[in-house]
Amino acid sequence: MDRAIRAFLDVLAVQQGASPQTIRAYASDLAQFQAFAQDARKRRGPLIPESIEPALIREFLAARDRKGEKKSSLARKLACLRSFFRYLVRVGRLEANPAEDVRAPKLPKHLPRVLTKDDAGALMEFPGGQERDSLRNRAILETLYSTGARVSELVGMNCDDISRSEGVVRVRGKGQKERIIPLGSIALDAIAAYHAQAPNVREPSSRRSSDTAAVFRNSRGGRLTTRTIARIVAKYSRRLTGGTIHPHTLRHSFATHLLDEGADLRAIQEMLGHVSLSTTQKYTHLATDQLLSLYDRTHPRAVSTTETNEVIKQKGSR
C-alpha cells in the first residue's frame, strides 16, 4: 500500500501537474484511510490494495462522519480514494475500483459569497500610498478582480506571461493547463506602478531561480505564497466588512459582475478555466438572486418573497 500510494502521488505531481496543495491533501487523506484500514484488519500483516472492499471505504467515511467531519471533507476523501484506485486499475494492479460505487455524501448547496460592485471598487482603494508593499498589494487585488484567477494561478504568474500591448495574461490552472485571460488597464497600470517602485522584482532571488520571473514577490525577492496572498486580502477586507474574505471571493465577484453586465456564460467559463459549464452556472443563480432582491427593493408593485410566503400560508390555513 505504501508503494502504491507513493507511485500515485508521483503521477499526480509529475504527469498530471497537480498543485502542491492537492498533493498534500491527497497524501493526508490516503494516510488517514490506510491507518483506518490497517486498524480494521487488526494488523494482520501488511495492507495491500487488493484487500480493500467497498464496505471498508463506507466504514471509513462513516467513522469520519461520527467524528464530526464536514460533508465537503468527506466528499473530498472519497474523490481521493476513487482517483487512487482508478489509477491502480489503469496500471493493471486492480481489476475494479472499490470506491466507484460508494455513494458520496449529499452536500448542502451554498451560493458563494460575492462583493457588490461598490464594495469591490472600495477594496481596491484600501492599499493607499506609494510604498512598495502598498503598490504590490493593490496590484494583487486589482489582478485577482480583473482576471478571476485562482490564488495559485496568481502566485504562479511570471512577468513574461503578461502582454501589455494585447491586455492579456497567460495563467497555468489545474493540471498545468494554460489559458489566456484579459487583464484590464487598471490592473496593468497597478502592476507597472509596483514594478517601477520595485525594480529588483526581476533580480535573482537568493532562494530559487524560478522566483526571478515572478510578477509578485516578497521583500526577500521570493515568490509569494498562496497563504501570504490570503493574508493580504484578509487584511484589507476587514476594513470593508469587519470580517475577512478569501481571495476566491474576488473570483466569484469577477464572474458574477461579468454576468450582471451581460457577458456570455461560455466566455466566463473559458476565463475561469472551468472544465464543465455546470460549474459556471452557479453564477446564474447568484445573478438571479440579486435581480430579485433589486426588484423587491425598487419596484413599487413588488411583493417580497417573505411577504409572498406569508400570504400563501394564510390562504392555506383558510
Tell me the percentage of the chain whose pLDDT exceeds 90.
47
> What is the length of the chain?
318
70-94 burial code (b ≥16 CB/10 A, e <16): eeeebeebbebbbbbbebbeeeeeb
Q: Which residues pair with 214 in a beta bridge?
A: 158
Output the nine-digit C-alpha cell for 106: 449529499
Report pLDDT for 43: 57
User: What pLDDT band is residue 47 in, cutting at 50, 70 and 90?
Assistant: confident
CATH architecture of structural domain 117-245: Orthogonal Bundle (1.10)
**pLDDT tens across 141-157, in order?**
999 999 999 999 999 99
Average pLDDT over every residue of 116-137:
90
- At residue 314, does pLDDT exceed 80? no
Count of H-run helices and E-run strands, the chain: 14, 3
Report pLDDT for 311: 41
Q: Give, in words, the CATH class of 2-90.
A: mainly alpha
Average pLDDT over every residue of 69-97:
93
Is pLDDT larger for residue 45 or for residue 50?
50
- At residue 188, does pLDDT exceed 90? yes
Print the SS3 string covering 96-140. CCCCCCCCCCCCCCCCCCCCCHHHHHHHHHCCCCCCHHHHHHHHH
Lowest mean pLDDT among 122-131, 173-182, 207-216: 207-216
Q: Where do the structural domains in the chain lie, given as residue ranges? A: 2-90, 117-245
Distance CA 257, CA 5 (A): 42
Report pLDDT for 205: 46
Report pLDDT for 201: 54
Report, as residue numbers or ranges, the catalytic residues. 150, 174, 248, 251, 274, 283
Average pLDDT over every residue of 250-263:
86
Report pLDDT for 30: 96
Average pLDDT over every residue of 77-94:
94
Report pLDDT for 191: 95
Report pLDDT for 315: 43
Q: Which of 10, 49, 47, 45 is nearest to 27 (CA)?
A: 10
Distance CA 309, CA 84 (A): 48
**pLDDT tens across 259-310, in order?**
888 888 888 888 888 877 777 776 766 555 555 555 566 666 655 544 444 4
